[in-house]
Structure 1
Amino acid sequence: MRNVPLAEFDHLPAEVLPIATDYPPDYLLVWHEHRRAQFLYAATGTMLVETDEGAWTVPGERAVLIPPRVRHQVRMLDVQTSSLYIEPAAVPWWPGTCRVVEVAPLLRELLLEAAELDADYGDRSRDSALVALILEELATLTEVPLHVALPHEEPFSRLCRGYLAHPDVAVSNTDWARTAAMSERAFTRRFRELTGMSPAAWRAKARLLAAIPLLRHKTVTEVSALLGYASPAAFTYAFGRAFDVAPSSLRR
């Protein structure tokens, strides 16, 4: 099924509903939730996923696992997706929070094939076997740490969401503490309690996440300069240390 709304088919008894969708550039799927678990695969482009708990960046040829009933929004940057909407009982191991995962070549091909299935595929043995194999492959996926936690409290949440939208290397702990009308020491202590990271470390990781969509259209040298790194080598080292992949591997 392609470019069809889930609501038209969610009532069907199929354990897995595969739906592929083509999105306009910079399209925002506003806050919503699904009854089913969602496997959202970016065949092209980059997806920016937010929940109340965190923000995940999903490069092309990766996917994000979204739990059922979790409120989220997604910004689609030149994205074609292949989604699987899965009955929760079929995936009891599904995580309770979003996770970005690598998608191996076999699963990639299975997802492309599944997008051609009709809504009533369950009556055909080959199609049912295809979906069963997809479920087996989903259980073996490797997580990629392409996310930052988002604090629930204000003004911490507002500061973090604003920084994700417009990362600026010039912003300091002093700036954030002043905006929050707190001492820098109290602000840093409470921020660490809410996110598990210092404000400076959080901003550094957020800037690295912001590099991912830029890498599709710009060189490593250009991106490192835009994000305030002293050199491409310094940017590449920081990126690899944070995400265990080279930034050049995401330039597609």
Structure 2
Amino acid sequence: MRSPRIDKVDHLPRPVIGLGHDYADGFLIEPHEHRRGQLMNATSGLIVLTTPEGKWVMPPHRGMWIPAGVRHSVRAVGLVRMQSLYVETDRAEAMPLHCQVVEVTSFMRSLIGEVVGLSLDMEADGRSRALMDLTLYEVERLPSLPLSLPFPSDERLAKKCREFVGQPNIHQTIDDWSRELGMSRRAFTRIFRQQTGLSFVGWRQQACLLSALLQLSAGQSVTSVAMELGYENPAAFTIMFKRAFGKPPLTYLGLR
């Protein structure tokens, strides 16, 4: 699917504009921002969104809310078939002020598809306006999903976090990090929680989970991913994954 770029149609007097695009595996959209808020939804592939504040992973059939004015980059993992809604700021006041992965119901996916299918060359008629109003009503009610990884504001901590994301391992400890950073254990745990909203152990697990989603979507086996992250066996990894997401890895990603 190929639609015009949002900057070519952003001027249209519509509360929401729907566009569709396909992206090849590894395609990178460099850092940019939009005047409108954006809700992304992909029927295949996985999206990695990065901002100065953190990283988000959007598996297939989920959504990603990006507030207006947030600078972000986007990377495709696998063939991504994406549809996006661009929402005027005065119609997005009930939406989060930060990026958020959300659950997308089959009804919401149908609405997104209908809005993307609306002609951009004609003035919106009564049906189109009603459809857009209903879609915006439903957008506000999408439940959030725990698929974000916040980075601390402290530069040394943020650098260490980015290094860990590049090579995550479930066995790294608070003592390892605090010693390397020249901090006491108490100061490290206090600052880390203050700046990320998570304990170190919770953040470490989240980083490993998001890394696992990327690797599994790229075709690696559950066994390979589990071993690479430092789990003793695939069963231990699967238990942790199911505890976090409610389903085994391949089922969650729609690969089984």
TM-score (norm 2): 0.88
Q: Which deviates the most, 179-188 or 21-30?
A: 179-188
Aligned residue in 2 for 1:131: 132
Asked if the contact 1:14–1:122 (Cα under 8 Å) also holds between the matched residues in 2, the reply is: no
- Write the mapping of 1:105-120 to structure 2, written as runs, cut at 5 A: 105-120=106-121
Quote the residue 2:45 is aligned against. 45
More off after superposition, 175-184 vs 145-154: 175-184
Q: What CA distance in whole angstroms lies between the structure 2 residues aligned with 1:164 and 1:198?
A: 16
| Residue equivalent to 1:81 | 82
> Following the alignment from structure 2 to structure 1, what is the Cα–Cα distance between the partners of residues 203 and 196?
8
**CA positional deviation for 1:184:** 4.1
Query: Could you tell me which residue of structure 1 aligns to residue 141 of structure 2?
Result: 140
The equivalent residue for 2:238 is: 236
Summarize the alignment of residues 10-89 of structure 1 with structure 2, pairs less than 5 Å apart: 10-78=10-78, 79-89=80-90
2:119 is aligned with what amino acid? D
Q: Counterpart of 1:180 in structure 2: which amino acid?
A: L
- Quote the offset at 1:121 in angstroms: 4.6
Compute the RMSD of aligned alpha carbons.
2.2
Q: Compare 220-229 and 75-84 and name the one that shifted more.
A: 220-229
- Contact kept in structure 2, 1:164 and 1:210, CA below 8 Å: yes
Matched, 1:190 2:195: no
Local SS of the residue matching 2:212: helix
Contact persistence 1:121–1:128 (CA under 8 A): no
**What amino acid does structure 2 have at the position aligned with 1:156?**
L
Pairwise CA distance, 1:21: 1.1
Distance (Å, rounded) in 2 between the aligned partners of 1:231 and 1:53: 33
Gaps spanning 5+ residues in structure 2: where? none
Equivalent position SS for 1:123: coil
Report the alpha carbon displacement of residue 55 of structure 1 after superposing the two structures with TM.
1.8
- For residue 129 of structure 1, report the CA deviation from its aligned partner: 2.8
* Contact 1:122 1:128 (8 Å CA) reproduced: no
Q: In 1, Cα distance between the equivalents of 2:198 and 2:138?
A: 33
Between stretches 26-35 and 190-199, larger displacement belongs to 190-199
Aligned to 2:252: 249
Per-residue deviation, 1:214: 2.3
Contact 2:57 2:210 in 1 (8 A): yes
The reply to whether residue 93 of structure 1 matches residue 89 of structure 2 is: no
2:163 aligns with: 162
Gaps in structure 1 of 5+ consecutive residues = none
Report the CA distance between 1:133 and its aligned residue: 2.4
Number of residue pairs matched by the alignment: 252
User: In structure 2, what is the Cα distance between the partners aligned to 1:86 and 1:41?
Assistant: 14
The amino acid across from 2:244 in the alignment is: A
CA contact (8 A) 2:100 2:144 kept: yes
1:226 corresponds to which letter in structure 2? Answer: E
**Aligned-residue offset at 1:93:** 0.6
Deviation at 1:251, TM superposition (A): 4.0
1:206 maps to a residue whose letter is A
Indicate if the aligned counterparts of 1:151 and 1:194 stay in contact, CA closer than 8 A. Answer: yes
Kindly provide the CA deviation profile for residues 208-237 of structure 1, in whole angstroms up to 9, marking residues without a partner as x.
Answer: 111112223234333322322122222122
Q: Secondary structure at the match of 2:155?
A: coil
1:221 aligns with 2:215: no
Contact 2:245 2:252 in 1 (8 A): no
| 1:207 correspondence with 2:228 | no
